[in-house]
Every structure is written in structure tokens, then in C-alpha cells.
Amino acid sequence: MKKLTLLALIFLCLVTAACTKHNCCVPPPITPYIGADKNTVKWTGEATAEKQGTDTLLIIGSKTEERLIMRLKFTGEGIYTFQNTQAFYFTTIGGDVFTSEYIVDETAASTLTVTDYNETSRLASGTYSLTLKRNYPNPTSAYPQKVQFVNGMFHVYLPK
């Protein structure tokens, strides 16, 4: 009788352990990311997204004393073309003193493509390519006339 009870207990433990849910196959959440080749040098920053007003989305890349901001009327997956100050890049000293500012160069195409958008997780992923011209300080040779971001990629969680 003891052997039968022991066998039943072992069987019950095995069945319980086999039915326990394992998280081995749940992919980890994607870490927000933004990066590109900035004037042929690898550039990465902390990626965030913010709402501006009721219908405008800001995708922001921050790296120490640098900020890249892309402003768009988000409607889901697709190609967004930037004009004027819809995309801009600036540098600072101490995070509060502007040392340079670049805006969209209208003579070249500047686009952002949302290749994937998950409405449940609110994760947007895609690519971007920007050609920006110096707006401030002007004129000066201390800063390049243009800044190009090519082969850009991003993953950001959109605000609700």
C-alpha cells in the first residue's frame, strides 16, 4: 500500500510539473532604439516618442549633447516625407545652451518609413534618411553645412 501511495504521489508530482506554464518561448520586450550613420559615423541615441497636441507624434533620439527630432502626423505604417522644421537636429552645451541647429534641406529627400506597427504593444519600427542644413549659427565654419542621417533605424513605443 505504501508503494502504491508513493507511486501515485510521484505520478501526481510529474503531471503537475509537466503542466506548469513555462515562459521559455515568450520573446523579451524590444528595447527602444534609434541609430543611423551621421555624416558616415555610427550614431545611436536613446529613443522616445511623445505626443504633441492631438495629432502629432514626435520621435526623438537623444545622445548626451545632441537631439534628433522627427515630427509627423502618424497614421500607421507608411512613408512620411519631412519638410521645413518637421525634422531637426541640434547640439547643446550642458543640455540648455544651443550651439547648432539643423533643419530639413528642401533640395534632398528626407523620409521616415514605418515598416511595422503593433497596435496592442504600440511598438513602431522603421527606417529613416535625413539631409539637414545648418540653420544656426549661420555663417560659421565651426559646424558642417549639412548633416546627413542615412541607414537610420528606430524602434519606439508610442504614447497612448
In a domain, 94, yes or no: yes
Total count of domains within the chain: 1
pLDDT in tens, the chain (160 residues): 666 665 566 666 666 666 656 566 667 788 999 999 999 999 999 999 999 998 899 999 999 999 999 999 999 999 999 999 999 999 999 988 999 999 999 999 999 999 999 999 999 999 999 999 999 987 777 899 999 999 999 999 999 8
Residues β-bridged to residue 52: 56
pLDDT of residue 131: 98
Range of 137's domain?
33-157
In a domain, 144, yes or no: yes
Q: What is the C-alpha to C-alpha distance for residues 147 and 134, in angstroms, rounded to an integer?
A: 8
Q: Which of 66, 62, 37, 65 is nearest to 48 (CA)?
A: 62
**Peptide bond between residue 137 and the one before it cis (omega within 30 degrees of 0):** yes
pLDDT of residue 96: 87
In a domain, 117, yes or no: yes
In a domain, 5, yes or no: no
In a domain, 60, yes or no: yes
In a domain, 52, yes or no: yes
pLDDT of residue 16: 65
In a domain, 25, yes or no: no
* DSSP codes joined into one string, 94-112: TTTEEEEEEEE-TTS--EE
Going by the DSSP 8-state scheme, the letter that residue 160 receives in this structure is -
